[in-house]
Amino acid sequence: MAHTHRETAPARLSRRTLVAALGAVAAGAAFGVQRATTAQAAPAPGLDDPAKKEIAMKLVSSAENSSLDWKAQYKYIEDIGDGRGYTAGIIGFCSGTGDMLDLVTLYADREPGNVLARYLPALRRVNGTDSHSGLDPDFPKDWRKAARDTAFQRCQDDERDRVYFDPAVAQGKTDGLRALGQFCYYDAIVMHGDGGDPTSFRNIRKRALRTAKPPARGGDEKTYLNAFLDARVWAMKQEEAHSDTTRVDTEQRVFLRKGNLDLRTPLDWKVYGDSYHIG
């Protein structure tokens, strides 16, 4: 007589346990795949990422100071003959445009009696002009002296961010732009400011919006950035002092043509005929 094999209760329990365990493993694997896919789909860092911001500072310095050593520019000061008086510091604060006055005021608030505080009345008088009245002959020397003070360096960093970097990055993100587009905005606001005149950053952007839509409005990012850079070149050519457009032509457009919308290194570019590299 054949014997029918009957599983004992412990055996049945073991099989159910095994099935449950296998299910848990499969679920875990699926979760792992989902996590990996999510990680791969994560957006690249914006320009406010510390590493990207360092790149941005070097790119601007290559155009403004012919050097990648942007931290050496805290002490920089000269009149470049563009009608804005003295241009100085890491971002080109100008005695004729108000941002230098704001900077020196901040420094005086933080460090009363500093070497530049005595120039505040003169800076108020020359604001809006190219005059050096009340600044010469010692203002450049005293600026360089102040630049050795870490408190003044922090003031320059903070004003750069408040007036130029943070607004540019915020507008770039609002428009759906990645790091390169945010940098294009930043470089434009550094040179042109964000006032009401036709060549200001906001009006360069408006000019671009006439012909292209940014990604946030359903447009193609490269197409929009080309339109923005076209408008930027137009604005630069309105002023003789800014008519050399190589910081656009042989820098920003180089990255754009390569499709490097995230400003990934290595980067190679030229400004005013000089070659630069970030590895």
Evaluate whether residue 13 is within a structural domain.
no
Give me the pLDDT at residue 5, please.
35
Tokens of 129: 């002009």
Give the residue numbers spanning the domain of 196.
Answer: 50-278
Residue found by looking up tokens 């299910």 in the block: 23
Tens-place pLDDT, residues 153-208: 999 999 999 999 999 999 999 999 999 999 999 999 999 999 999 999 999 999 99
Domain of 71: which CATH number? 1.20.141.10
Tens-place pLDDT, residues 35-83: 444 445 578 999 999 999 999 999 999 999 999 999 999 999 999 999 9
User: Total domain count for the chain?
Assistant: 1
Evaluate whether residue 153 is within a structural domain.
yes
CA distance 253 to 226: 8
Given a cut of 50, whether residue 33 has pLDDT beyond it is: no
- Model confidence at 16, in pLDDT bands (50, 70, 90)? very low
- Model confidence at 11, in pLDDT bands (50, 70, 90)? very low
Tens-place pLDDT, residues 125-145: 999 999 999 999 999 999 999
CA distance 123 to 225: 37
Evaluate whether residue 8 is within a structural domain.
no
Evaluate whether residue 22 is within a structural domain.
no
Evaluate whether residue 16 is within a structural domain.
no
pLDDT, average across residues 6-21: 40
CA distance 268 to 205: 26
Using an 8 Å Cβ cutoff, are 59 and 187 in contact? yes
Given a cut of 90, whether residue 31 has pLDDT beyond it is: no
Evaluate whether residue 17 is within a structural domain.
no
Q: Where do the H-state alpha helices sit in 66-215?
A: 99-110, 120-126, 139-146, 150-160, 166-174, 179-192, 201-209
Residues labelled catalytic: 64, 82
Tens-place pLDDT, residues 209-256: 999 999 999 999 999 999 999 999 999 999 888 899 999 999 999 999
